[in-house]
Amino acid sequence: MKFFIDTANIEEIKELIPFGIIDGVTTNPSLIAASNRDIFEVLDEICGLVSGPISAEVTATDYNEMIKEAKKLVSISKNIVIKVPLTKDGLKACSELRNKDINVNVTLCFSPSQALIAAKCGASYISPFIGRLDDISHDGMQLIQDIRSIYDNYPEYDTQILAASLRHPNHLVEAALVGADVSTLPPNIIHKLFNHPLTDLGLKSFLDDWAKSKQIINPK
């Protein structure tokens, strides 16, 4: 599974790059606004840090304006992926952009039928929002499983399932178990993946025993 980091905060990205686990970045208008920076400036800096796919979302809702915004965004870098909402205009823009060999992330997916039509329109990525479905007492992970089953039935679809709106580490594990290709995670969730109380207790026990032995591996 590929890991994308869901942020427009440069310092958060820099902190996680040395671990070698960040395969790409997803942004959205809310994250860009939270950065308090110019969208082109921050996306350009992100592209300079991460060589993988960088999702940049259009803010227009009209097809023609989406295409205009997309052309400006892809001029930033070759690894920009245009993010469009799962609306009629968004899917029309997706089809047009894919015809121009521009990668597209179709976002705000909440049903298998939406995922199917997005694949038909050539989406590079489909982003089902798991947490938001869970919030309204729907089974978000079932959506991932349904999409996986549909896509597996039709090998001609090469749309990757990008699990989004993940709220905790178990969401990540569940998404991996049902076959999501990518998960996009906020930095705070990624940091939680490293931790387990038994790891901390085990390490403390090993170090306590080592201290009692009075041995030194690297004496001065």
Domain locations along the chain: 2-213
How long is the chain?
Answer: 220
Check whether 106 has a pLDDT greater than 80.
yes
| pLDDT on residue 12 | 97
> Rounded to whole angstroms, how far apart are CA atoms 202 and 186?
28
Question: Is residue 83 annotated as a catalytic residue, yes or no?
Answer: yes
What are residue 59's DSSP bridge partners?
A: none
Predicted local confidence at residue 65, as pLDDT: 98
Per-residue pLDDT of 134-167, as tens digits, reads 999 999 999 999 999 999 999 999 999 999 999 9
Instruction: Assign a CATH topology to domain 2-213.
Output: TIM Barrel (3.20.20)
| 17-64 pLDDT tens trace | 999 999 999 999 999 999 999 999 999 999 999 999 999 999 999 999
5: closest CA among 43, 50, 41?
A: 50
Give the pLDDT confidence of 167-217 residue by residue, as tens digits. Answer: 999 999 999 999 999 999 999 999 999 999 999 999 999 999 999 999 989
Question: Of 71, 72, 83, 212, which residue is the catalytic one?
Answer: 83
Q: What pLDDT is recorded for position 219?
A: 75
Mean pLDDT over 57-78 rounds to 98
Q: Which amino acid is at 127?
A: S
What is the band of 2 on the pLDDT scale with cuts at 50, 70, 90? very high
